[in-house]
Amino acid sequence: MTKVKVYVMYKESILDPQGQAVKMATQKMGFTEISDIRIGKYFEIEVDADVATAKAQVEAISEQLLSNPNMETYHVEIME
């Protein structure tokens, strides 16, 4: 079995209103050096296959389902 992590983030060009709201809260808390916060999604996926197959399959679902290529990018990592 292979464990895989996927991170999905809004593209740089997309304004992230949630991240902006959280950033505003950090300013109110007094952490004035926090200059940007962007919120994304994190997936832990278990695949009953070897590393190469697992990576290919997770890349495919990341492209087709986990992210929306119109507004998001994804990053796949194999977990040790």
Q: How far is the CB of 28 from other proteins (least distance, A)?
A: 15
Residues 6 or more apart whose CB falls under 8 angstroms from that of 37 comprise 19, 20, 22, 23, 26
Binding status of residue 71 toward other proteins by CB under 8 A? yes
Distance between CA atoms of residues 36 and 48, nearest Å: 38
Nearer to other proteins, 1 or 15 (CB): 15
Q: How many helices (H) and strands (E) does the chain have?
A: 2, 3
Q: Identify residues 11-70 at the interface with other proteins (CB under 8 A).
A: 13-15, 17-18, 21, 65-66, 68, 70
Q: Which residues bind other proteins (CB under 8 A)?
A: 10, 13-15, 17-18, 21, 65-66, 68, 70-71
